[in-house]
Amino acid sequence: MTKNFHIQQEFSRLLTAAVINGSFRKALLNNPGKAISSGFGGEAFNLGADVVQRVSSIRANNLAEFATQLSEL
């Protein structure tokens, strides 16, 4: 499994959590780094510090905007 594939898989998990849980979605939009660090449903997101830092720079008003910016990282 390549590093890129692993990151994309984790991004998918991140977006899935945001879709199914409004509280997590709000946390992700307000403070992506903290939301990633907190995990979801007892599960951790396995992303390196460099990736978390890039995701933390995302500023979006809704999940669609967040997903668009995430895909551009």
Confidence check: pLDDT of 56 > 80: yes
Q: Is residue 16 part of a domain?
A: no
In this prediction the pTM is: 0.91
What are 7-20's pLDDT values in tens digits?
Answer: 999 999 999 999 99
Distance CA 29, CA 34 (A): 10
The model's confidence at residue 2, banded by pLDDT at 50, 70 and 90, is confident
Q: Is residue 49 part of a domain?
A: yes
Q: Are 66 and 47 in contact (CB under 8 A)?
A: no
Residue 14 within any structural domain of the chain: no
Range of the domain at 39: 3-7+21-71
| Helix intervals (H) in the chain | 3-20, 22-30, 32-38, 49-56, 63-71
Identify whether 31 is part of a domain.
Answer: yes
The total domain count for the chain is 1
Q: Is residue 15 part of a domain?
A: no
Torsion of CA 22, 8, 73, 70, to 10 degrees: -20
Asked whether residue 35 is domain-assigned, the answer is yes
d(CA 1, CA 36): 22
Model confidence over 26-40: pLDDT tens digits? 999 999 999 999 999
pLDDT value at 49 more than 90:
yes
Q: What is the pLDDT of residue 1?
A: 58
